[in-house]
Structure 1
């Protein structure tokens, strides 16, 4: 990964200008860079086995740029480069540098989280409304997955999703900047149950009750039947993730919320 990152820096005419940041399980490697054409940028390198370097996750950020760079508060994608070597494929994405901290360095929001001002919530609500109206054949959540997974992880009947919209797909505190907010990491965007994005942010905020309550106030859809279904589906996703060892601190709150929503 480090050698591929160096090659991408050279190919894109940049130089590293900040610390290296590893992503989930070493799948990505990123850093601030400087580029003659664009100035300060963010360079993100993603890798996958060569035979799996395709589909939704691989092309997500590039397609999101086509859909949303002009309409949503997100980093603009400037340029991409790719290569295959040693059985792995690498995709480098040179994007707008955002000089803001994220709401949380980890997806799960801590109990001392600061609640952003009204303007932050208004901007987020407007952007998610724009995203929801986009027409795409990309899929973030499938009914077939719901049918299999809700009984398995929550011991509840699988809800039938009747209302769908386009979603960011991974709306958690580590993908939102703290001042504006900018929405980061679009590789998973696609069609999902109505209310899915707010439900995701709410679920990752359960250890910060005041923040979670503000999510519910900002997105009344969470109080509807569609929102109940979306929350059950998000809880199922996070329980599946917890079964692999991710975010065990959320398991108790998620189980209690699932019982309340049953």
Structure 2
């Protein structure tokens, strides 16, 4: 990111009027969106169309758009071996008078809903063995591919320097934070972005090269409030999570839970502290 870029004013699309945006998307993509089923998040919108597809709309400030652009959803269309929506078309435009870009993508509508409405889960979902098999096949296929893109989890480009700085601030006892292997990652593998009971993986806007284990650690960390589910993720993705890179990525996730912004009401906090102790011990062996 270029630090000299103007910073866009923060807007919460859950509260802002969006009808003008929706009309522009409909005209550009030649679709009609179902207003009654519209999904509104802080910086994105999603909705069904009359032709049985899904449209995702996102607002992003210039300061969150790096040199590679932000067409991750479109760029992911070249990936293979992954259970994910097919990409059909997209449109992007600049917000007049503001350092802000809008983007809308029309995609295949997947048959199952998200496993959770938010990033984490508080109750164990009923996921068949076929779901876990498809998850493993998709993540393994993703890791075997190559891309010049860099992953941008939370819209921030992940780098060795960022990993070292983040871990050093929260876990100063870790002196070796060097990542050995970088692989393509989804970079936002939360329970809101995996569908079930039929597995598929949505929201590809931030995918790219990342430390091995980032995806597994994100899914695992967001399951810590349901110990049996977290254990299943750890079991299924053991090759990633038990590697040194995977342990560092697990701590990278946990740093956001147990670090300076920790709060007592967080359902992840108690299990996260326990897992932090385990991982620090393992890394010091």
Shift of 1:239: 5.2
Match of 1:233 in 2: 252
For the Cα contact (< 8 Å) 1:150–1:156, is it kept in 2? no
The answer to whether residue 33 in structure 2 is matched with residue 16 in structure 1 is yes
For the Cα contact (< 8 Å) 1:102–1:174, is it kept in 2? yes
* Moved beyond 6 Å, runs of 4+: none
Match of 2:165 in 1: 148
1:29 to 30, 40, 45: 45
TM-score computed with the length of structure 1 as normaliser = 0.87
Match of 2:86 in 1: 76
TM-score computed with the length of structure 2 as normaliser = 0.80
The answer to whether residue 185 in structure 2 is matched with residue 167 in structure 1 is yes
Match of 1:224 in 2: 243
Shift of 1:226: 3.3
1:117 to 105, 119, 128: 128
2:252 is paired with a residue of what secondary structure?
A: helix
Instruction: Give runs of aligned pairs for residues 38-49 of structure 1, distance below 5 A.
Output: 39-49=51-61
CA RMSD between the two structures? 2.3
Shift of 1:6: 1.4
Name stretches of at least 5 consecutive residues in structure 2 with no aligned partner. Answer: 1-17, 152-157, 281-285
For the Cα contact (< 8 Å) 2:81–2:137, is it kept in 1? no
2:209 is paired with a residue of what secondary structure?
A: strand
Deviations 1:172-199 (A, max 9, x none): 1110001221101111111222222111
The answer to whether residue 128 in structure 2 is matched with residue 128 in structure 1 is no
2:268 is paired with a residue of what secondary structure?
A: helix
| Count of paired positions | 251
1:234 is paired with a residue of what secondary structure?
A: helix
Shift of 1:107: 0.6
2:105 to 93, 97, 101: 93
State the distance in 1 between where 2:186 and 2:201 align: 8
State the distance in 2 between where 1:43 and 1:205 align: 28
Name stretches of at least 5 consecutive residues in structure 1 with no aligned partner. Answer: none
Deviations 1:4-56 (A, max 9, x none): 12111122111122422112x2x11111112xxxx211111111235755555
State the distance in 2 between where 1:2 and 1:244 align: 37
